[in-house]
Structure 1
Amino acid sequence: MTTGECYACGKEARFDELPPRERIAGDAYWRVAHCFGTALPGWLVLLPRRHVTAVHQLTDAEAAALGTWQVRLSRALRDVTGCVKTYVVQFAEAEGFAHVHFHIVPRGAELPPEHRGPGVFALLRRPEPEQVPDDLADDLARSLRARLHEA
């Protein structure tokens, strides 16, 4: 797959045009977006800004920034959503989504037991009526951005 065929790289190429939900925050190495197709508000995706298909391909600088972003996003999600913890998951195996990306998923106290741990992925790829509406994802993005700038 070339970067021209990569969904994440296509979004990166249009970064300044993206809605708030797709450009929550970023630095020279990473950008943060609200996950699409999820029924769980606040489900974030952390993506390298260059095309990478495996974690071992990250540069030392990208790797150093990765841990900081995971903790900063977890703290911001706690403050904005009230979640009790976050899940951090990386597979990058879905067709069209081989670009490395980390799911940063808020786990609220009210999340039913069947959706905890790996069961949270049942809340992804939901039918459109169940998905987080774009306006809510944009509002969350703005709140998260503000919280990240305070930290």
Structure 2
Amino acid sequence: MVSPSEEASCPICALHCDRDELKAHEVWRSDLWLLRHHPSPAPLPGWCLLDSLRHIGGPISFLPEEAQDWGVVVQRASQLVLAVTGCERVYVIAFGEGARHLHLHLIPRSADDPRTSAWKIADLYRDVEAGKATSASSVCVKDWLLRARALAPSLLS
């Protein structure tokens, strides 16, 4: 059970109320889920997050309809990342410690980019966050978002 104070202080719940941020990064949403591009500084174009709209810590707290829909949404969101980026794989990672609100990282893995290989992706994330590595350009992210938003209705609806 989530306490009201935990939900009130949740950065993901706050983000879901920030219309400007969502306008800039939202790819798709349903009644249960929100797919958004990683905010700036984004480690890679196509690095997305799939959030539960309801404040929950993880799958252990799913309602029946969330549990039933989860696998299909993760699969289709991953297919979208793959289709738009042209990557070979999509890594799916969730820890839930930075923000205790279910948000799943969908990360494009490209064979021609060694920074995206296995756990090196975590190093890239930390390096971009610390300013030690260059983030994805805003132009590339905006282009990715335009293409993803155009394709999302056919893959995710």
SS of the residue 2:145 aligns to = helix
The alignment status of 1:46 with 2:50, answered yes or no, reads yes
> Structure 1 residues 129, 115: CA separation in 2 closer, same or farther (over 3 Å shift)?
closer
Letter in 2 for 1:29: L
Take 2:15 and 2:142, find their aligned partners in 1: how far apart are those partners? 16
The alignment status of 1:124 with 2:125, answered yes or no, reads yes
SS of the residue 2:119 aligns to = helix
Question: Could you say which residue in structure 2 is the equivalent of 1:98?
Answer: 100
- Pick which of 123-132 and 72-81 moved more: 123-132
Question: Could you say which residue in structure 2 is the equivalent of 1:110?
Answer: 112
The alignment status of 1:17 with 2:20, answered yes or no, reads yes
SS of the residue 2:149 aligns to = helix
> Structure 1 residues 138, 19: CA separation in 2 closer, same or farther (over 3 Å shift)?
farther
SS of the residue 1:109 aligns to = coil
Count of matched residue pairs: 147
Please provide the CA RMSD for this pair: 2.0
> Structure 1 residues 140, 29: CA separation in 2 closer, same or farther (over 3 Å shift)?
same
Take 2:123 and 2:105, find their aligned partners in 1: how far apart are those partners? 14
1:34/1:44 contact within 8 Å kept: yes
- TM-fit CA distance, 1:128: 7.9
- Residue by residue over 1:67-103, the C-alpha shift from the partner in whole angstroms, topping out at 9 and shown as x without a partner, is 1121112211222111111111111112xx1211111
What TM-score does the superposition give when structure 1 sets the normalisation length? Answer: 0.85
The alignment status of 1:27 with 2:30, answered yes or no, reads yes
- TM-fit CA distance, 1:150: 2.7
Q: 1:86 aligns with which of 77, 84, 90?
A: 90
- TM-fit CA distance, 1:21: 4.3
Take 2:23 and 2:111, find their aligned partners in 1: how far apart are those partners? 27
Letter in 2 for 1:54: G
Take 2:46 and 2:154, find their aligned partners in 1: how far apart are those partners? 18
Letter in 2 for 1:86: V
Which of structures 1 and 2 has the larger relative contact order (alpha carbons within 8 angstroms, sep 6+)?
A: 1
Question: Could you say which residue in structure 2 is the equivalent of 1:140?
Answer: 144
The alignment status of 1:75 with 2:76, answered yes or no, reads no
